[in-house]
Amino acid sequence: MKRKIVVSLLIFVCFLLQSTIFHSLSFGGIVPNLMIILTASFGFMRGEKSGLLIGFFSGLFIDIFFGEVLGFYALVYMYIGYTNGKFNRIFYPEDVKLPMALIIVSDLFYGLICYVLLFLMRTRFNIGYYFLHIILPEIVYTTFITIILYPIILWINNRLEDSEQRSAKKFV
């Protein structure tokens, strides 16, 4: 129960930061994608189911407030969380390279899926411009914010796991 409350608060706080504070800190209209950082991080820290659920609710927040179609971003983030959850078996908390690489690939996947489904279907074929001016700067900005945010998410996850282990020992 404690984990659900903390994760719900994290989703809400990251959504608020991404949609308010980071909009004022945007570079050329590019905002870091905190929801991808959160979804990918919990996906490979906790597994497929956790990544899928956090991705769904993160995407649902974006759909409700900014989406044109309800469920599009929820589905994209759900896939991102589930795919990152597949890497749970090779996750080591001390290693930062894997989370950084997975967040970069997740942000690239997110950008390409949004391009294909939101722009390419409306006959806007300039992928080079979109990649250089939207996807690549967002990846760089998200990666920079990941360096700051990932240790905080890891610390919160470790504290929650310790709390769960202590409460489980009470019942044994």
Domains parsed from the chain with CATH numbers:
2-22+32-164 (1.10.1760)
Q: What is the pTM of this model?
A: 0.93
Q: Which two tokens stand for residue 33?
A: 């994608």
50-87: per-residue pLDDT in tens? 999 999 999 999 999 998 889 999 999 999 999 999 99
The residues facing 49 across adjacent strands are none
How confident is the chain (172 residues) per 10-residue block, as mean pLDDT? 94 95 87 96 94 97 93 97 94 88 97 90 84 95 95 95 83 66
Q: Which residue type occupies 49?
A: K
